[in-house]
């Protein structure tokens, strides 16, 4: 266990919750006695939920679940909310045990990373917490031995995290020259997985970062040190200028001199050693230069880290004097004297906006650490967000949805650190799926009067699915689907389509219910997602077909409960 006292608590919880026998007689106070929800009426119900997942949950995740349940129990949320929370936490923590071959296996969504055209996972595996040491490999005497580092226990853990990421489709790995032994360790782990046939080089994205220097010789020396670590991968997909934060660094980086840093990295690009050039900075002018393919930037819901309080519009129309002041990072209040200064904001909002306008990839740096240490959130933050999602999931969704960032970097220390971000990615994917379906789900569907449907009212069935899954309209949907089943009951495989259509369809309710024996490949070929449409057709048929009764427990689980208010009573005529 990585958490002090964790082993004893896990053992005690196993005994208390599930009745597993203790290895020895209890001699000390039971640590479970301090966990209030275990000693309440809801304790056994939560135990039942955890017991369904416990074999799939790592000890570290198990402890996080218990602590979150205890926190929310102290806030006196309802029993239903507590049970829903327990179910959500257990499901998000058991991602590692999903069936590799199962249909619908979750993978991290990908998006186009601006002009690089890379398909970027919306989560990036950062390399700041996995390494053996932070001591740079350029420090005499103190620097680590590379051969020993890549055979250390930390390397075993790092490789395990990288492998877990790859299995989830999280295939962007980010490190830096400044991260101690991280660069050599991450590159070595990836090369070993390539040699083992787990992943191909073209199937992952590798990024490292090099610090800009005043002298080009120093920069070249840094690069050579990095290249000695990562050349085993063949090339670097993304090379960033790291921590550009003041005007001298900016001017040196953007210099057009033939012996300058930018000319040097362009040469590396021509040689195929690097593919794309980016910057990790806070300065708008770097973005606005149009010289970079992507940007690594701090832009968080709870503030922009070291960019907070700096003017956000360095690319606006400033007079020469004010632009010079801005570039020297003089206090933004001094810009108020300029009548052309109209930005009026602070932080990195304008830089992100401009990057997107220039079709640059936007990489969010450290949203869970520098964005508020959200892996250990304050009670106020957790309470404000609520039990429906973790603060980490909230921050990630804010970055993807509000800031429109393509990916966010998460510095994993162990595989269980993936729990909350996998949950966030799943929420993102579900929301995107909902948006796509809302816009396109009922388009390009043939009429049931066309023979390729064999009379199945595809659009009508999918609409019923929407009504049920979105609004829980069980009785309404059953009424509508039963009308379609009437036509199916009269449909005969021995008759032609035209004969069946004439016999089975009536003017008020034409079309029939879903039929698993009918091949709808041709009927759905113009739909934006034929597989999803088929999945929904099968689901609505299994839910609404005659003879299938949905239990109250199933309704509650799916959010399909009947409302308690009856506005009026109608006499319902059939088939109307």
pLDDT at 51: 85
pLDDT at 12: 52
pLDDT at 560: 78
Looking at the structure, do residues 180 and 221 belong to the same domain, yes or no? yes
Q: What is the total count of domains within the chain? A: 4
Find the helix or strand (DSSP H, E) in which 279 lies.
Answer: strand 274-281
Looking at the structure, do residues 43 and 171 belong to the same domain, yes or no? no
Q: Are residues 108 and 122 in contact, defined by beta-carbon separation less than 8 angstroms?
A: yes
Looking at the structure, do residues 175 and 62 belong to the same domain, yes or no? no
DSSP SS3 for 456: strand
Burial (CB count within 10 angstroms: exposed 0-12, middle 13-18, buried 19+), residue 551: exposed
Domain boundaries, position 490: 451-558
Other CB atoms closer than 10 Å to residue 508's CB: what's the count? 9
For residue 571, being part of any structural domain is answered with no
For residue 148, being part of any structural domain is answered with yes
pLDDT at 238: 98
For residue 44, being part of any structural domain is answered with yes
Choose the final residue of a domain: 54, 73, 97: 97
For residue 219, being part of any structural domain is answered with yes
Looking at the structure, do residues 240 and 266 belong to the same domain, yes or no? yes
For residue 507, being part of any structural domain is answered with yes
Choose the final residue of a domain: 53, 74, 97: 97
Looking at the structure, do residues 337 and 355 belong to the same domain, yes or no? no
Q: Provide the Cα torsion 451, 455, 457, 461; round to 10°.
A: -120
**Cα separation, 374 vs 160, whole angstroms:** 24
Looking at the structure, do residues 239 and 319 belong to the same domain, yes or no? no
Contacts by residues 532-539 (CB-CB < 8 Å, ≥ 24 positions apart)? 532/433, 532/437, 532/441, 533/441, 533/445, 533/458, 533/462, 536/461, 536/462, 536/465, 537/456, 537/458, 537/461, 537/462, 537/465, 538/514, 539/465
**Cα separation, 71 vs 182, whole angstroms:** 35
For residue 302, being part of any structural domain is answered with yes
For residue 570, being part of any structural domain is answered with no
**Residues near 522 by Cβ (< 8 Å), separated by ≥ 6?**
452
Looking at the structure, do residues 302 and 380 belong to the same domain, yes or no? yes
For residue 421, being part of any structural domain is answered with yes
Looking at the structure, do residues 321 and 303 belong to the same domain, yes or no? no
Looking at the structure, do residues 293 and 172 belong to the same domain, yes or no? yes
pLDDT at 250: 85
Looking at the structure, do residues 144 and 66 belong to the same domain, yes or no? no
Looking at the structure, do residues 290 and 330 belong to the same domain, yes or no? no
Please tell me the pTM assigned to this model: 0.70
The strand pair at 123-126 and 119-121 is best described as unpaired
Q: How crowded is the C-beta side of 51, counted as CA atoms within 13 Å?
A: 13
Looking at the structure, do residues 156 and 269 belong to the same domain, yes or no? yes
CATH number for the domain spanning 360: value is: 3.20.20.100
Q: Write out the chain's pLDDT in tens, 576 residues.
A: 334 344 444 555 555 455 544 444 444 554 555 778 878 888 889 988 888 887 788 778 888 898 899 999 999 988 888 999 999 999 888 876 665 555 456 889 999 999 999 999 999 999 998 899 988 777 776 677 888 999 999 999 999 999 999 999 999 999 999 999 999 999 999 999 999 999 999 999 999 999 999 899 999 999 999 999 999 999 999 999 998 877 788 888 989 899 999 999 999 999 999 999 998 876 788 898 899 999 999 999 988 887 777 766 544 444 455 555 455 544 444 444 443 343 446 788 888 999 999 999 999 999 998 889 888 888 888 998 999 889 999 999 999 999 999 999 998 888 888 888 888 888 888 777 677 888 899 999 999 999 999 999 999 999 999 888 887 888 889 999 999 999 999 999 999 999 998 888 877 667 999 999 999 999 999 999 999 999 999 999 999 999 888 888 888 777 776 554 445 544 444 444
pLDDT at 312: 62
């Amino acid at each position: 266990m990585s958490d002090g006292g964790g082993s004893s608590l896990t053992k005690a919880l196993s005994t208390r919750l599930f009745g597993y026998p203790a290895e020895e007689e209890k001699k000390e106070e039971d640590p479970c006695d301090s966990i209030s929800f275990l000693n309440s009426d809801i304790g056994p119900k939560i135990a039942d939920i955890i017991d369904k997942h416990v074999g799939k949950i790592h000890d570290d995740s198990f402890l996080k679940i218990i602590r979150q349940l205890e926190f929310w129990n102290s806030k006196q949320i309802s029993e239903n909310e507590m049970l829903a929370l327990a179910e959500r936490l257990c499901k998000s923590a058991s991602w590692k045990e999903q069936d590799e071959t199962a249909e619908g296996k979750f993978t991290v969504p990908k998006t186009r990373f601006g002009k690089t055209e890379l398909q970027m996972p919306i989560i990036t595996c950062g390399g700041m917490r996995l390494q053996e040491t932070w001591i740079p490999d350029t420090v005499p005497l103190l620097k680590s031995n590379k051969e020993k580092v890549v055979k250390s226990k930390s390397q075993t853990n790092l490789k395990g995290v990288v492998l877990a990421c790859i299995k989830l489709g999280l295939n962007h790995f980010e490190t830096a020259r400044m991260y101690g032994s991280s660069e050599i360790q991450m590159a070595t782990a990836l090369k070993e997985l390539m040699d083992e046939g787990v992943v191909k080089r073209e199937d992952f994205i590798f990024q490292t970062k090099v610090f800009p220097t005043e002298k080009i010789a120093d920069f070249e020396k840094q690069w050579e040190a990095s290249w000695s670590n990562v050349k085993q991968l063949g090339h670097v997909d993304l090379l960033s200028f790291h921590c550009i934060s003041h005007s001298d660094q900016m001017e040196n980086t953007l210099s057009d001199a033939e012996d300058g840093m930018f000319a040097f990295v362009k040469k590396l690009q021509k040689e195929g050693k690097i593919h794309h050039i980016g910057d990790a900075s806070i300065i708008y002018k770097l973005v606005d230069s149009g010289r970079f393919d992507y940007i690594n930037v701090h832009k968080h819901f709870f503030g922009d880290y070291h960019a907070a309080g700096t003017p956000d519009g360095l690319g606006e129309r400033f007079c020469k004097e004010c632009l010079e002041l801005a570039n020297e990072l003089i206090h933004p209040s001094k810009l108020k004297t300029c009548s052309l200064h109209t930005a009026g904001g602070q932080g990195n909002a304008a830089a992100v906006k401009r990057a997107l306008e220039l079709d640059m990839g936007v990489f969010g740096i450290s949203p869970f650490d520098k964005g508020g240490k959200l892996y250990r959130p304050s009670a106020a933050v957790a309470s404000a967000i609520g039990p429906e999602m973790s603060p980490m999931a909230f921050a990630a969704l804010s970055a993807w949805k509000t800031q429109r960032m393509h990916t966010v970097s998460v510095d994993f220390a162990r595989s269980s650190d993936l729990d909350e971000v996998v949950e966030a990615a799943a929420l993102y994917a579900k929301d995107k799926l909902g948006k796509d379906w809302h816009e396109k789900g009922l388009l390009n569907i043939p009429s049931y009067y066309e023979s390729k449907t064999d009379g199945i009212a595809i659009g009508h069935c999918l609409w019923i699915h929407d009504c049920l899954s979105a609004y829980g309209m069980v009785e309404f949907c059953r009424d509508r689907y039963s009308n379609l089943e009437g036509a199916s009951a009269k449909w005969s495989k021995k008759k032609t389509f035209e004969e069946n259509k004439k016999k089975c369809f009536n003017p008020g309710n034409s079309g029939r219910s879903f039929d698993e024996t009918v091949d709808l490949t041709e009927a759905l070929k113009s739909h934006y997602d034929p597989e999803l449409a088929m999945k929904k057709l099968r689901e609505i048929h299994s839910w609404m077909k005659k003879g299938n009764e949905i239990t109250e427990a199933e309704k509650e689980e799916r959010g399909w409960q009947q409302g308690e208010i009856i506005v009026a009573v109608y006499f319902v005529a059939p088939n109307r």
